[in-house]
Structure 1
Amino acid sequence: MNSDDFDAVEAGRRLGHDLHRLSAIAPQAGWPQAVREGFTAATAGQGARPRHDDRFVRKWLQLRLGALARGRAVAPDVTVELLRRLDVSHCPVTRQPLTHATRLGSDASVDRLNNDGAYAASNLAMLSARVNRAKGTRGFAEVWALSQRADAAHGLAPGEWLRLAVLMLGPAHADRPLDVPALPLCAPLPPTSVRTALQQLQRLLTLNAGQAASRNRLLRGLLPACGSAVAEARLRLLADAVHMGLKRLAPDEPCWDVWLQPGLMAALAAWRDALGDGAWARVAWTAGQIAGGHPVNRRELDPWRLATRGYLPRAGAVGGTLAAGR
Structure 2
Amino acid sequence: MDTSGKTSRVRVVVDAMGGDFAPQETVLGSLEALKIADIELLLVGDKQSVEEELSKHDYDASLVTVVASVDKIGDDEHPVHAMRSKPEASIIVATKLLKSGAADVLVSMGSTGASMASSVMILGLMDGLERPCIGGPFLGMSPKTMLVDMGSNVDCRPSLMLSFAALGTAFSRTFIGLDNPRVGLLSVGSEEAKGNRQVQECYKLFEDSHMNFVGNVEGMDFFTDKADVIVCDGFVGNILMKFTEGLGAALGSYLQKGLSSQMNNAQSESIISDLWRITNLPRKMGGPLFGVNAPVVLGHGSSKADGVAGAINTAVRCYDLNLVDSMRSELSEVTALMETSG
State the TM-score, normalized to the length of structure 1: 0.30
Give the strand-richer structure, 1 or 2.
2
State the TM-score, normalized to the length of structure 2: 0.29
Decide which structure has the larger Cα Rg and report it: 1
